Chains A and B, each alone.
Chain A
């Protein structure tokens, strides 16, 4: 503890410039965002080129539609996970929240068909309530998010098992409009993908263009500094969990429509799948960095790997191996890139420090 108010810490400066410290649309911020997206974009393009050369059926309109269709729900779920990850937290309960949102909202629809039009708000409300439980556990009860959401994952999934009693919801119980909406296309683009884009745009704008969004990044990049600035850290974390839960609830309904049934095991394992997509999309699990666009790209990359490897005739084992490898590769490249950048940024700061003393 030197105590002396030294020069602005490089890390804080970096956070300020990258997370909207300057004017809206400042060149530095746009450049920073684009640079961060470069990795995922290059990877995606490279994957598409390789798979197109490898198989005749990859580069077709039908296959592109299929990729968008299968990747859409994951993209929505990753947006929910990403919101929480930006605050330097995790949500391991996201799969259980998705299943609960999908199951209970559709169960209510079966008993009270009148709620049909409000299916998505309903699922969002259920998800938000469960997300708020996570938020309270993490922000107010101060439990590390990894452990807290590990516990709530068991609780939410267990409650779902208990109340469902092993009964799955079948296709003929699902609202017809949901099934036909999910399988429809809008100008050739699957409706699911359109929903994913809308959700991503909304959350992206929220994070990039609003005060709340900036405070979310501030909390994630440096909680201590955020408190010094007077930001209500706990409220912000609680809100992101609730919002993430709401989006996860919506994703649950979408997944129900895509799969055609709702089982109590729905979205099991999505907690790790969404984290993987977030990491591949350039989000740091240490918080404060990443973008919604990157998260969506991460989901798309995972889907393209699955799709391309299936077409190339590779087994599911090879898909999982490649995915695991890609996660480590993405994190490795990201850390290397950061280190180069921070060593470049650190030089002037150090010189000034030396001059001051």
Chain B
């Protein structure tokens, strides 16, 4: 009994969510600390330059605008942890907003709209996941195609006019507030907590890390790698469906062009969050901090009347420099990527899916 309690206590300790559970593959050491320091430094600088920065009013306004990308980043994190990528999430979101918009126009209740959006998002994620997991297609190419196809489908189904009729309960998701706290922030934190629990406390979460770390070893332990991969894409799709509701709530409209072109921001948040782009490592806490850092930089600079151009350069430089620093100091992803290709030198195993490398060499 006491053993069970001890296990539970260890599993639920807050430290585990912040710095990982001590296993080396759950995050880069010191990454979150560096992010916190950067956030504090940027925030202090912005506050010193403009006293308006540290007002709840201003910060919460900024949060609402950034919530959609941050939400998508939470979903993408799961896909990146299994060593794949989904760049079609913004188009998935667009198709979800069309589904929500059509139902809203027909006067459907909010609950039905929520369910429909999640269903569409999950289904589109499932298509990507099945193509990657069961057919073994490279995820970048599949989701590159899906990026164009899903958005085009959103335009074909929903037209170019867009939808603006949504029930108030949906609008509240993007624009409402509980007291002073924006609903979108609450949604974001709730999803972050949920994904974090899935990744850290559940079997499927551990499977995600295992697949990202070593698909072949995972397969040999009897876990279905295609199933795990598919589920990861479905999770990302579900989060995109939820993000679509926050999107229509905030902007008051939905359509094929929703969130178009923001996928690179989403990838930036994930990479800045310390998630290994080759898979197998990363924590939601890092992604949350990265979203916060991006928000601080963008809102602080906007307050100082620095153009979006400067923001773009700073964020790009931050991305490159942070990863360069981490790779040089820690010998991270690149070396592991190399180790993986060294492993391929061994005689290829005869698995039907070809293990980690569906066709590494011509």
Contacts and interface: CB of A to CB of B under 8 A. Distances in A.
Contacts of B140: 90, 146, 275, 285
B152 A324 contact: yes
B156 interface: yes
B360 A11 contact: yes
B144 A276 contact: yes
A317 B153 CA distance: 7
Given A272-B147, A289-B361, A321 B137 contact: no
Contacts of B156: 315, 317-318, 321
A257 interface: no
A222 B153 contact: no
B59 interface: no
Contacts of A332: 131, 135, 137
Contacts of B131: 328, 332
A36 B320 contact: no
Nearest to A217: B362
Interface in A136-168: 137, 141-144, 146-148, 150-155, 157-159, 161-162
The binding surface of chain B is classed by DSSP as helix
A223 B345 CA distance: 10
Contacts, number: 234
Interface residues of B, number: 66
A328 B149 contact: yes
B320 A286 contact: no
A353 interface: yes
A202 interface: no
A346 interface: yes
Interface residues of A, number: 77
A221 B313 contact: no
Interface string B289-330: 000000000000000000101101101111110011001100
B256 A317 contact: yes
Interface string B314-357: 01111110011001100011110110011111111010001001
Contact of B328 (A12, A141, A151, A350): A141
Given A150-B267, A272-B144, A332-B131, A9 B345 contact: yes
A326 B144 CA distance: 11
B137 A286 contact: no
A317 B137 CA distance: 25
Interface string A8-33: 01111011001100000000000010
B145 interface: yes
Contacts of B25: none
Which of B140, B327, B342, B348 has the most A CB atoms < 10 Å from its CB? B348
Contacts of A152: 316, 320
B151 A158 contact: no
A212 to B, nearest CB: 18
Closest 4 CB pairs of A and B: A324-B149, A154-B316, A289-B362, A327-B145
Given A142-B334, A148-B323, 6 more contacts: A10-B348, A150-B319, A153-B264, A154-B313, A159-B313, A221-B361
